[in-house]
Structure 1
Amino acid sequence: MPSASEKLEKQAILWLVRLQSQPGDSSLQQACMSWRQRHPTHECAWQAVQSSYSQLRQHVQQVPAGLPVSPATLLHRSATRLSRRRALGQFGSLLLLAAPAAWMVHEYTPWQRLRADHYTPLGQHASLTLDDGSSLQLNTDSAVRLRFGPDERLILLDRGEISLNSLGAQPGTGRQPLQIATRDGRLDATGSHFSVRQRADGTHVHTATGSVPMQGRHMPLPVTASAGSDYLLTPSRARPVAAPGMDMMAWTEGQLVAQDMPLADFLEEVGRYRPGRLDWAPEIAALRISGTYQLRDTDTLLALLPRVLPVEISQRTRYWTTVQARA
């Protein structure tokens, strides 16, 4: 008979599978959070499964790209290789049963990050140099695949956020123009410096220098974003949006630079870099914050807030932090 801890691990695995299958379902996210908060043992099981999932991703990534096996078989083999870890064994079996059928044929699903060429864990970022000398950076919890060949040079952003500082066209090299693809459309990445973030409501594009032509999957013609602009790309349109109250490129230096930013937006951004739950009282949401904050240690970052705002930090558990008005 399964122990109480094994039952909780299975529940945590099922929550994770459902969240991965339906990443934009806010009600499901809230239901999962309620389950985690119900008892400290639930949160412990959740964190154990999250850790095991990260290890599973690493093992799947090690499989050669050309291996002709289905994703379900791949997960089963990966879990088997890690069967000494009870949670991973359970995880692989449940993933095999719970993975949606659409995952087998659809190019852009949450599961594709398991086969990413490059990915970053929560709270970390990475840099790499492409074949033409262009610089690509991945922000926290991001995943990309590279499709470089005689007919295309494509960066597939499956998850998270990247920054690309691309070189101009190089005649005579035989290289195809560099492009970025998200689930919403494609962007021309030649001779510009810009960031691309995959969001639930579309693809956010911030252009620092140069210009970026972009085209949604259902758009008849591309739209070009000029330097200093922000756009939201969806399959049917590309529209300019107001600049966020922060430096969109500061994360490449490990910083969050706020510019008269609503505190709720600031805390939502900080939450992208730390595990667990970070929430705040409604009465402090509209407070404004400015300054430069280091992302390498979000606990220290949050501890600084009471020095500049009338707030206090409450740590309910290691993975549940609340910011509220100062008493």
Structure 2
Amino acid sequence: MTRQAPTPEAREVARAAARWLAMIESGEEGVDHVALQRWRDSNAEHEAAWQKAQQLRQRFAGVPPSLGMATLDRPALARRAVLKRALGVAALVPTAWLLGRELPLDVWRADLHTATGEQRRWTLADGSSLQLNTDSAVDLDLKARRLVLVRGEISLRVSGTTPLAVQGPYGVITIDRSEACIRLDERSCHASVLSGSVLLQPLRGPAVTLEAGQQIDLQASGAGPVDRFDVAQLGWREGLLVAQDQPLGDFLRELDRYRPGVLRWDETLESLRVTGSFRLDNTDRILALLSASLPLEVQMRTRYWVTLTRRKNIA
């Protein structure tokens, strides 16, 4: 059964609540409690999300550490079964994991998932290769030849004799001896084909066949236009974030996907240009490289709250 996806607004509120809790749980100084209270008071949904986050933390506080660690040390599929048999998934998820995920419970129950900043690769039983990008989750049903993209971004190369269908909130993508990348965000599902061809069936409108080197967006209203794509956009599969004369604002929005916590920047930095290949296993170093090559300063209030400002000219 397909789970109903939270609305974009609900996801954003959940992320904000988790980020605030992450800063508090980090134990570092500099957390702006006044700003937190202002955020909670500004909207009833903010306060409700904050209370849910607190409840999850309190529920885990009563679980013996040995039980929690033993559960989290298990392989992904075994861990999922253990969590469901125990006090409930939320009761066994440590606060740090909750905050790193910044997600609703449907992701915690997923068969395979990655934390923020993590990429992982699996070889499926039929020899197909599945790779998850940062902050992603999928459910697998290989008997039905189906994969449900719950969140985030995947790269899938199907090498078996039977097609594998990727189901998302905006339609179904069928991959047969082909390789494709699929990225889900709040309002669309973006599909790019690296080799072979795939069949896309939107929720509305006719099916579309996508060939190697082509990309398309699936939305609630149907499929968008077919376009070409730059393979550099898929550098994450090699652990790289690649930019070619890219506006800094767009680069930072992409970088933000790989960093837990809050990343903010002045609007005056948006139009600066970035070129280079950056390793995603150390995003602090990426920020340092930006500071060394562009007129900006990195201000770290805590490990989880970073602000970029334009460097002032010193006479």
Determine whether 1:298 maps to 2:255: no
Rounded to whole Å, the distance in 2 between the matches of 1:252 and 1:164 is: 11
1:185/1:233 contact within 8 Å kept: yes
Determine whether 1:208 maps to 2:194: yes
The 5 Å alignment of 1:43-62 reads: 49=57, 58=72, 62=78
In structure 2, the residue matched to 1:101 is: none
Query: Which amino acid in 1 is paired with 2:13?
Result: L
2:214/2:229 contact within 8 Å kept: no
Rounded to whole Å, the distance in 1 between the matches of 2:89 and 2:138 is: 20
Q: Which has the higher contact order (CA 8 A, sep 6+)?
A: 2
Determine whether 1:316 maps to 2:280: no
Query: Which amino acid in 1 is paired with 2:271?
Result: A
Determine whether 1:144 maps to 2:138: yes
- The 1:178/1:225 distance shift into structure 2, 3 A limit, reads same
Shift of 1:115: 2.0
- The 1:295/1:31 distance shift into structure 2, 3 A limit, reads closer
In structure 2, the residue matched to 1:272 is: 257
Shift of 1:41: 11
Deviations 1:122-168 (A, max 9, x none): 1111101122222110011111111111xx2011110111001222x
Rounded to whole Å, the distance in 2 between the matches of 1:244 and 1:320 is: 33
- The 1:49/1:262 distance shift into structure 2, 3 A limit, reads farther
Shift of 1:257: 0.8
1:110/1:158 contact within 8 Å kept: no
The 5 Å alignment of 1:165-180 reads: 165-167=157-159, 170=161, 176-180=162-166
Deviations 1:175-200 (A, max 9, x none): x4211111111101112222111100
- The 1:79/1:249 distance shift into structure 2, 3 A limit, reads closer
The 5 Å alignment of 1:13-32 reads: 22-25=7-10, 28=13, 32=17
Query: Which amino acid in 1 is paired with 2:149?
Result: L
For residue 292 of structure 2, give the secondary structure of its aligned residue in structure 1. helix
- The 1:282/1:212 distance shift into structure 2, 3 A limit, reads same
In structure 2, the residue matched to 1:194 is: 180
Instruction: Select which of 109, 112, 120 maps to 2:106.
Output: 112
Rounded to whole Å, the distance in 1 between the matches of 2:130 and 2:77 is: 19
In structure 2, the residue matched to 1:181 is: 167
For residue 233 of structure 2, give the secondary structure of its aligned residue in structure 1. coil
For residue 24 of structure 1, give the secondary structure of its aligned residue in structure 2. helix
Question: Normalising by the residue count of structure 2, what TM-score does the alignment of the two structures yield?
Answer: 0.72
1:110/1:159 contact within 8 Å kept: no
Query: Which amino acid in 1 is paired with 2:139?
Result: R
- The 1:232/1:317 distance shift into structure 2, 3 A limit, reads same
Determine whether 1:256 maps to 2:248: no
Cα RMSD of the aligned pairs, angstroms, is: 3.9
- The 1:81/1:186 distance shift into structure 2, 3 A limit, reads closer
2:180/2:191 contact within 8 Å kept: yes
1:229/1:240 contact within 8 Å kept: no
In structure 2, the residue matched to 1:159 is: 151
Gaps of 5+ in 2: 24-30, 38-49, 62-67
Instruction: Select which of 129, 132, 148 maps to 2:126.
Output: 132
Query: Which amino acid in 1 is paired with 2:304?
Result: Y
Rounded to whole Å, the distance in 1 between the matches of 2:244 and 2:139 is: 33
- The 1:110/1:77 distance shift into structure 2, 3 A limit, reads closer
- The 1:136/1:216 distance shift into structure 2, 3 A limit, reads same
In structure 1, the residue matched to 2:64 is: none
Rounded to whole Å, the distance in 1 between the matches of 2:189 and 2:92 is: 36
Shift of 1:322: 1.1
Query: Which amino acid in 2 is paired with 1:271?
Result: D
Shift of 1:228: 2.0
- The 1:192/1:27 distance shift into structure 2, 3 A limit, reads closer
Shift of 1:242: 6.7
Deviations 1:230-256 (A, max 9, x none): 211123311137778882221111110
Shift of 1:299: 0.5
Deviations 1:97-129 (A, max 9, x none): xxxxxxxxxxxx943222211111111111011
Instruction: Select which of 187, 193, 218 maps to 1:233.
Output: 218
Shift of 1:268: 1.1
In structure 2, the residue matched to 1:14 is: none
- The 1:199/1:23 distance shift into structure 2, 3 A limit, reads same
* Equivalences, count: 269
Gaps of 5+ in 1: 1-19, 92-108, 171-175
For residue 233 of structure 1, give the secondary structure of its aligned residue in structure 2. strand
